[in-house]
Amino acid sequence: MHELTKLIKDDMRPALGVTEPGAIAYAVSKARSYLTGELKEVRLLLNSGMYKNAYTCGIPNSLFFGNEYAAALGAVAGRPEKELESLADVTEEDNAAAEALVKAGRIHVEMSGITSRIFIEAQVKTADGEAMVRIRDSHTNVVRIEANGKTILDREEPQAAEAAEETPLIHNYTLRQIYEYAKTVPAEEISFIKAAYDMNYALFEEGLKNERTTYARHLLKKNGGQILSSDEQKTASLLCNAAIEARVIGLDRPAMSITGSGAHGIIATMPLYGVCKIRGLEDEALYRATALSYLICMYIKEYSGKLSAFCGCGIAAGTGMACALVYLWGGDDQMMAKTINNMASSITGMICHGGNKGCTMKGVVAVDAAFQSAELGMNGIFIDDIHGINGSTPEETMRHMGEIASPGMTGTEKTIVDILQEKGRA
């Protein structure tokens, strides 16, 4: 198996609802699993990205939202063996119990600092004891577990400065090499990508039929009342953003995440599905395009960090999807480089103010930008390297896109959190 295939396969992961509430519930439920007795208190410490992304986010099987309720439901009903789908079995009774915990002041959430490096520390206290679970760097990467004074697990990672010295695998490749991999990797080696479409399409269908969605039905109307019309861009926007809306309001269907995000996974895939169906392309072409889309997304995200102040869904996944459109339309890596320049010069800097219904609108913008950037790039129309943050190579441009987020938007992250907390107090 090619190392890029393994990279994709290891990164694809089902996530129920927005990933951050799922990760919070997972951490709390994991700590709770080491204890017996009546729950007394949950204390949660989160990095700014985690704190922000879950702050106003819908929770699966619940009408509640946000960090406190994600933690409370994790303590009451979380199934840690299901990881990011740990809230799959929440009932009305569980919601009532979680509400009682929050109203009684038993759930405490604090921010550990302004950083794009994922951090969750869940401390749970019951009548019989205490336990702690710590997660770093990815949403399910448990690095330390303590229970009743004993260390159950300890595999803390090196300090950030040491870890930064290691070059991420994807950065060992150029755009041309990623393109060549996508063209030539054995079809059977990437057939597992089908699972992403099975899962994301079911989420799209849930968004289309559920009475709680609004964007989904309007995008269907704009597409002539059809799921697949002759208009590739409108079809792509419908498929993508009905699924995103379903996810962010907490409907009970998982998304296949990439780079730790369900919305990234949706944007990187669903528009491509529409194009392939309209053009009558084989599944093999879809999976090759998706591999390319995923890898470009990963390339940018390794610079920006998993959680930051910019919208990785629109910027990183949108750029990956735009390059994959070029692939499906018969273009080459030089056209993709032009497309990346167009994306870098247009939507880089789009902010992330958490996982919420705003992600749907960002998805609309990302799809529109990707289609325009790819069509223009394929016709030789692009923002020259001399302008703005574009580099002399596509690799440099993608690095600059990521650096805008981290370290570039650290101050923006603080301002966003300040605004959210001000709203919360009001």
The CATH number assigned to the domain holding 125 equals 3.30.1330
Q: DSSP character for 12?
A: -
Q: How far apart are CA 80 and CA 91, in angstroms?
A: 16
Domain co-membership, 382 together with 349: yes
Is residue 353 within 8 A of residue 54, CB to CB? The reply is no
* pLDDT for residue 250: 85
Cβ neighbour number for residue 183 with a 10 Å cutoff: 13
**Geometric angle at alpha carbon 264, from 47 and 372, rounded to 5°:** 130
What's the domain range around 140?
16-162
Domain co-membership, 205 together with 323: yes
Domain co-membership, 113 together with 178: no
- Residue 416 in any domain: the answer is yes
Q: How far apart are CA 365 and CA 73, in angstroms?
A: 33
Domain co-membership, 342 together with 371: yes
Domain co-membership, 207 together with 87: no
Q: Would the pTM of this model clear 0.85, i.e. be above it? A: yes
* pLDDT for residue 158: 60
Distances (CA, A) of 418 to 13, 114, 295, 304, 424: 31, 11, 33, 21, 10
70: left (phi over 0), alpha (psi -120 to 50) or beta: alpha
Domain co-membership, 99 together with 82: yes
For every one of its 426 residues, what pLDDT tens digit does the chain have, with 9 covering 90 and above?
999 999 999 999 998 878 899 999 999 999 999 999 999 999 999 999 999 989 988 888 888 989 999 999 999 999 999 999 999 999 999 999 999 999 999 999 999 988 888 999 999 999 999 999 999 998 999 999 999 999 999 998 665 444 446 899 999 999 999 999 999 999 999 999 999 999 999 999 999 999 999 999 999 999 999 999 999 999 999 999 999 999 998 888 999 999 989 999 999 999 999 999 999 999 999 999 999 999 999 999 999 988 888 999 999 999 999 999 999 999 999 999 999 999 999 999 999 998 889 999 999 999 999 999 999 999 999 999 999 999 999 999 999 999 999 889 988 998 999 998 888 787
Please state the φ and ψ torsions of residue 152, each to the nearest 5 degrees: -90, -35
Is residue 73 within 8 A of residue 95, CB to CB? The reply is yes
Number of helical H runs and strand E runs in the chain? 19, 8
Helix (H) / strand (E) element for 254: namely strand 254-257
Q: DSSP character for 317?
A: I
Largest CA distance in the chain: 68
Helix (H, G, I), strand (E, B) or coil at 214: coil
Q: Which amino acid is at 132?
A: M
Q: How far apart are CA 214 and CA 302, in angstroms?
A: 33
Is residue 106 within 8 A of residue 28, CB to CB? The reply is no
State the total domains in the chain: 2
Q: Is the peptide bond before 407 cis (omega within 30 degrees of 0)?
A: yes
